Amino acid sequence: MTEKPGPELVAAAADYAARGWPVFPCVAGQKIPYKEKDFFEHGVLDAKTSAYWVGQYWRRWPSANVGLAVGEAAGFWVLDADVKEAVGDKPGENGFETLAVLEGLFGEPLPATLGQETPSGGRHWLFKWPGRAVKNSARSRLGPGLDTRSSGGYILAAPSIHPNGGRYAWSGPVETTPILPAPEWVVRLLMGEPEDLEWLRLRLDGREIPAFLAKRVGQPVPAAARARPTPKPETLSPYARAALDDEVKTVRQTGPGNQNNALNEAAFKLGGLVETGALPESLVHQHLMAAALSWAIDPRKGGWSHEHLTKIITGGIASGRKSPRDVPPPPERAPRAAPRRRRADAPTPVAVGVQIAAGRAVWSARQPLADTPAAAFLTANGVNAANVGPWFGFGEVEYLHAPDGGEPLCLGKFPALLAGMARWADQGQPEVRAVNVTYLDGAGRPASVHDPLTGELLPSRALIGAWHGAAVRLGKLAGDRLHLAAGVLGGLQARSVYPAIPTWIAGPPSAMAHLALPAAIRTVIVIGAGDAPEELRARVARSLGGADGRVTVRFADARRRASVAAGSGHG
């Protein structure tokens, strides 16, 4: 459907000009500026913030699109993500995939700044001017599918009409959505000064990085990236083609309630074949996106956005690439030995990868705590939200409930306090693998969620992701004592009362049993698990104590927990 221009265009232009954003008229339904001798000859260079000139321009061209000049004068620059199909030998580009890779490597997603969706399937993010000159059109600096608009450049602003007939649309209200600074890694990638490149190299040290990023920061292109050819669809092996077809079929046939998980799992499985060169990433993305867009719409949530689906697919593929899958040799005549059966309680590598991707998807979408129901929840429980540290955030998270172990149902989306649960590698770099979620209502109270069949009140806390061995670590290790908390509040309160003793939040006792303690720890005080069954407490004590019993494990009872919360008693 082709949109028709109307008075909304001049109204928007006047509003932007009043905000101090320079505007100018572009040809109706096009991206190019109008031009008229002795009146408007220089395009973006003639952009104005004057109500008089806005009136003059749009009186002359009432159907004009709104060109928005960006850069230092406007106070912001623009990051542009686009998706382009492969043409001939020229590979396709997907800015959302590139962005997902960069966010994963640097461990910091883009903030919730003002942005807009483009009718071609792309997206703009507006970022506060950084005080350093951002280059206009810096495609080669950020990676495939990513570009910038800055001083001397412009974008079409909502509600302008794209050449394909669709309208640009803001991702949030212009009046209330802030324009935030870009993450430091984005700015340094754009600047590319020697000190910027050194900073980037230090952040990426020890990580496997794609060829485009290696080239940008001045590191050797990984040999695997140089040597591995990208297969064309017509040259795929029968195994790879069958794997792709099977996963696409599974995604396409998934009904509402489990679509996120199905898409994520399919992307993860195929990501292993992408890593070994058996499947081109662009082909996997294209087929999974087509399958997801064919889904029946859940009337409770509406349709799926291209950006949301892209985030799931790219995140799943990126996680799957960490578990490469080689194409097996053709079957031999002799029968293969039956694979050794896996213990029922040991998750497969694929399942673990899917869990990690699910946890990271929730964590990467987090927002700051300030002025959220999560901050109100902490304040009501005596915790200053401003001092909890970087491992906490706010989000809106789906509540999934699987009655009787069946297919999980989505019971709604709730405000939530998020706590990132990480594992520390040998080099000491944290890796978020799961999220401890406390579901809330709009006022910051624990959410009341009921089983739709039985009416039973369901827990307001959940662990999302691969939580085995992961914890929220509060404070650096010092000495030989450790507080180990089952709940977020208990952990934060213990940390407040005993700041000299490090506190880990590990979730319920069943999760504590999977933790590996640092070698220096000799005493562990477990907080918030005193009411656990004796058998479970004994299992936790055996697991944490080690085979040699070098660690003493004590459980704080209800009275002791009360004293910790009140600031009395000891450890």
DSSP assignment of 130-166, as one string?
Answer: -SS-PPSS-HHHH-TTEEEE-TT-EEE-TT-B-TTSP
Strand 83-84 and strand 93-94: pairing? antiparallel
* Measured distance CA(35)–CA(21) in Å, rounded: 21
Q: Does residue 10 sit in helix, strand or coil?
A: helix
Question: Once rounded to an integer, what is the mean pLDDT over residues 224-253?
Answer: 70
Q: pLDDT confidence of 23, banded at 50, 70, 90?
A: very high
**For residues 541, 547, 549 and 552, what is the CA-based torsion angle, rounded to 10 degrees?**
-30
Residue 420 dihedral angles phi and psi, to the nearest 5°: -80, 120
pLDDT at 231: 53
CATH number for the domain whose boundaries are 472-570: 3.40.50
Contact 170, 6 (CB under 8 A): no
Structure tokens at 261: 């998980």
Return the closest-CA partner of residue 230 out of 81, 83, 82, 86: 86
Judge if the upstream peptide bond of residue 328 is cis by omega within 30 degrees of 0.
no
Q: pLDDT confidence of 227, banded at 50, 70, 90?
A: very low
Question: Once rounded to an integer, what is the mean pLDDT over residues 66-74?
Answer: 94
DSSP bridge pairs for 450:
457
N residues, the chain: 571
pLDDT at 294: 63
Lowest mean pLDDT across 127-141, 162-176, 301-315, 377-391: 301-315
Structure tokens at 224: 């695997």
pLDDT at 300: 55
pLDDT at 392: 92
Contact 142, 149 (CB under 8 A): no
Lowest mean pLDDT across 94-98, 236-240, 543-547: 543-547
Return the closest-CA partner of residue 418 out of 390, 446, 395: 395
Q: pLDDT confidence of 295, banded at 50, 70, 90?
A: low
* pLDDT tens per residue across span 347-386: 566 666 677 778 888 888 889 998 899 999 999 988 898 8
* pLDDT tens per residue across span 155-179: 999 999 999 888 999 988 999 999 9
Query: Of 125 and 565, which is predicted with more confidence?
Result: 125
Helix intervals (H) in 322-418: 349-364, 373-380
* Measured distance CA(408)–CA(410) in Å, rounded: 7
Structure tokens at 496: 């407040």
Spatial neighbors of 63 by CB under 8 A, at least 6 apart, are: 5, 9, 28, 29
- Hey, which bits of 319-443 come out as E strands? 392-401, 409-424, 430-439
Contact 417, 377 (CB under 8 A): yes
Structure tokens at 160: 């302008």
Q: pLDDT confidence of 297, banded at 50, 70, 90?
A: low
Question: Once rounded to an integer, what is the mean pLDDT over residues 541-567?
Answer: 63
* pLDDT tens per residue across span 396-412: 988 888 776 566 777 88
Q: pLDDT confidence of 2, banded at 50, 70, 90?
A: low
Neighbours of 341 (CB within 10 A): 6
- Dmax over CA atoms of the chain, in Å, equals 89
**Burial zone of 45 (CB within 10 Å; 0-12 exposed, 13-18 middle, 19+ buried):** exposed
Lowest mean pLDDT across 269-278, 317-326, 350-359, 421-430: 421-430
Contact 522, 552 (CB under 8 A): yes
Contact 353, 320 (CB under 8 A): yes
* Measured distance CA(397)–CA(392) in Å, rounded: 14
Q: pLDDT confidence of 88, banded at 50, 70, 90?
A: low
Q: pLDDT confidence of 26, banded at 50, 70, 90?
A: very high
> Which residues of the chain does CATH 3.40.50 include?
472-570
pLDDT at 341: 44
Contact 175, 71 (CB under 8 A): no
pLDDT at 230: 52
DSSP bridge pairs for 335:
none
Count CA atoms closer than 13 A to 347's CA, side-chain side.
12
Helix intervals (H) in 397-506: 488-497
* pLDDT tens per residue across span 483-542: 888 888 888 888 888 888 888 888 777 778 777 777 788 888 888 777 778 887 888 888
Contact 478, 511 (CB under 8 A): no
* pLDDT tens per residue across span 201-216: 888 887 778 888 888 8
Mean pLDDT of the chain: 82
Neighbours of 11 (CB within 10 A): 14
pLDDT over threshold 60, residue 48: yes
Return the closest-CA partner of residue 110 out of 179, 164, 193: 179
**Burial zone of 193 (CB within 10 Å; 0-12 exposed, 13-18 middle, 19+ buried):** exposed
Return the closest-CA partner of residue 488 out of 369, 316, 311, 332: 369
* Measured distance CA(503)–CA(491) in Å, rounded: 6
* pLDDT tens per residue across span 325-348: 887 766 554 554 544 444 444 556
**Ramachandran category for residue 167: left, alpha or beta (phi over 0 → left; psi -120 to 50 → alpha):** beta
- Based on C-alpha coordinates, what's the Rg of the chain? 27
Tokens 């540290």, residue?
A: 389
Q: Does residue 95 sit in helix, strand or coil?
A: helix
Question: Once rounded to an integer, what is the mean pLDDT over residues 115-134?
Answer: 90
Q: pLDDT confidence of 308, banded at 50, 70, 90?
A: confident
**What one-letter code names the amino acid at 134?**
V
Contact 539, 465 (CB under 8 A): no
pLDDT at 9: 95
Measure Cα distances from 523 to 226, 479, 484, 526, 556 in Å. Answer: 50, 10, 10, 10, 13
Q: pLDDT confidence of 225, banded at 50, 70, 90?
A: very low
pLDDT at 70: 95
